[in-house]
Amino acid sequence: MKNWRNIARGDWNTFLLPTGTLLGFLITWEVLVKVTAIEKWLLPAPSAILKALWSVKELIWQHSLQTMQETFLGLALAVVVGVVIATAIDWSEELKKAVYPLIIASQTIPIIAVAPLLIIWFGYGLLPKVLVVALVCFFPITVNLTDGYRLVESDMLRLMSAMGANRRQIFRMVKLPAAMPFFFSGLRIAGTYSVMGAVIGEWLGASRGLGIFMTRSSQSFLTDRVFAAIIVITILSLAIFLLVEGLARLTMPWHYQRK
């Protein structure tokens, strides 16, 4: 009973402490804006932001649907590309030497510099936004899964070889299950970045989406709407993170039971 109470107390502390910190920050923000009489277009109060969010809820919902479409398509593409590249790299040492340094080097190129090229090549439709999301997301998936394959216990590999297992059997029965926690770690990071990638793509050219909603609002000095969009982006990113976490628990119950 004592252990369960300690666990419950720890869970509540994990939830209450950040929630209390956030509420304290919002209250301080609200009071400072009211006391200093800062102009609404410069820094709106949290209450004004919530009011703006409610007033444009239908419009922001339509923009959110577009952004989520780009996000999920881009994330799905990143998963496919990341898994294929990581598996190919694990399968061939020569390919790893040829490709892996290029993957690392690709992250030195700012995505904001690549996105305009995608707009030039593919226009202002859905495809360039999906590609931006995929470019943002594939790296953590690829690198984490590659590390997962590499860090499999060598004793287990030798045991399987001694039992007569071929390379495909070793991969399917040992490497793949052992690498799954690493894959989901990368997918959590990618999922958090995915909405941001979609918004970046929309900033550079779109007719719908949270990115273009933010651009139009900032150009009209509707700062409360910009903050409202930021709230929605944060909620969507958190929802994707929780979705990935739930999927990980369903896929790897043994991993969480061991914890």
Measured CA to CA, the distance from residue 74 to residue 68 in angstroms comes to 10
Measured CA to CA, the distance from residue 18 to residue 28 in angstroms comes to 15
Measured CA to CA, the distance from residue 256 to residue 259 in angstroms comes to 5
pLDDT the model gives residue 259: 58
Judge residue 34's burial from the number of C-beta atoms within 10 Å of its C-beta, 0-12 exposed, 13-18 middle, 19 or more buried: exposed
The amino acid sitting at 83 is: V
Q: What is the pLDDT of residues 33-86, one digit of tens each?
A: 888 888 888 899 999 999 999 999 999 999 999 999 999 999 999 999 999 999
Q: What is the pLDDT of residues 105-136, one digit of tens each?
A: 888 888 888 888 888 898 888 999 999 999 99
pTM score, two decimals?
0.85
Residues 199, 67 contacting (CB under 8 angstroms): yes
What is the overall mean pLDDT for the chain? 87
pLDDT the model gives residue 4: 44
Residues 195, 71 contacting (CB under 8 angstroms): yes
Q: What is the DSSP letter of 221?
A: T
Q: How far is CA 144 from CA 76, 190, 196, 209, 254, in A?
A: 16, 11, 20, 30, 20
